[in-house]
């Protein structure tokens, strides 16, 4: 396993639509292993393949219970709303206020290619929306109500 370099905002790769994963092979598993390791090291909640320079539809999310791998994910149901703070590993130090669904049901494939469904609330629902958006070249900043001010960021850091 190896850490991958995280692509930062400004790189046009983050604005491109990713292609579906077609081969469930060792190369994919190595990539997923690297992404899980890179996410753990970053302290973030989610990491999408384009953020490590790979234009394929996969991402990893860990909201505290271990990493979940999503290959070719799509949202098939949403419910409710939550107005939350959000950031992105590709936009370090920046956070915005955004409205996301409170509940999300997703369909995706695992690393073997098996189809799965997963339902999530709150942070997991938010993370699924954020990471799946990356696969269509959409950054959270294009969906925020507003970004946090310097003062709000300072308060946030003090609370940590």
Which residues of the shown chain bind Co ion in the complex (CB under 5 A)? Answer: 88
Q: Which is nearer to Co ion, 31 or 52 (CB)?
A: 52
In the complex, least distance from residue 38 CB atom to Co ion, rounded to whole angstroms: 13
* Alpha carbon distance 39, 60 (integer Å): 8
Q: Which is nearer to Co ion, 21 or 135 (CB)?
A: 135
Residue 45 and residue 95 in contact, taking contact as beta carbons nearer than 8 Å: no
In the complex, least distance from residue 15 CB atom to Co ion, rounded to whole angstroms: 13
In the complex, least distance from residue 26 CB atom to Co ion, rounded to whole angstroms: 27
Which of these is catalytic: 86, 131, 145, 155?
Answer: 131
Q: Is the dihedral of CA 152, 153, 158, 160 positive or negative?
A: positive
Q: Is 131 a catalytic residue?
A: yes
Q: Which is nearer to Co ion, 8 or 83 (CB)?
A: 8
In the complex, least distance from residue 12 CB atom to Co ion, rounded to whole angstroms: 16
Residue nearest to Co ion (CB): 88
Q: Which is nearer to Co ion, 9 or 22 (CB)?
A: 9
Residue 62 and residue 69 in contact, taking contact as beta carbons nearer than 8 Å: no
DSSP readout, 13-35? GGGSPPBPP---SHHHHHHHHHH
* Alpha carbon distance 53, 5 (integer Å): 8
Positions annotated as catalytic residues are 131
């Amino acid at each position: 396993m190896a850490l991958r370099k995280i692509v930062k905002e400004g790189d046009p790769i983050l604005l491109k639509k990713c292609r579906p994963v077609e081969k469930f092979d060792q190369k994919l598993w190595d990539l997923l292993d690297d992404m899980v390791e890179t996410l753990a090291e970053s302290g973030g909640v989610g990491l999408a393949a384009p953020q490590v320079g790979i234009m394929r539809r996969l991402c990893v999310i860990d909201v505290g219970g271990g990493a979940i791998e999503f290959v070719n994910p799509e949202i098939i149901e949403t419910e409710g709303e939550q107005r939350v703070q959000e950031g992105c590993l590709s936009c370090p130090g920046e956070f915005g206020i955004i409205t996301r669904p409170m509940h999300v049901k997703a369909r995706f494939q695992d690393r073997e290619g098996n189809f799965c469904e997963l339902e999530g609330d709150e942070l997991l629902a938010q993370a699924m929306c954020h990471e799946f958006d990356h696969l269509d070249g959409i950054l959270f900043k294009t969906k925020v109500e507003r970004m946090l001010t310097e003062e709000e960021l300072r308060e946030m850091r003090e609370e940590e």
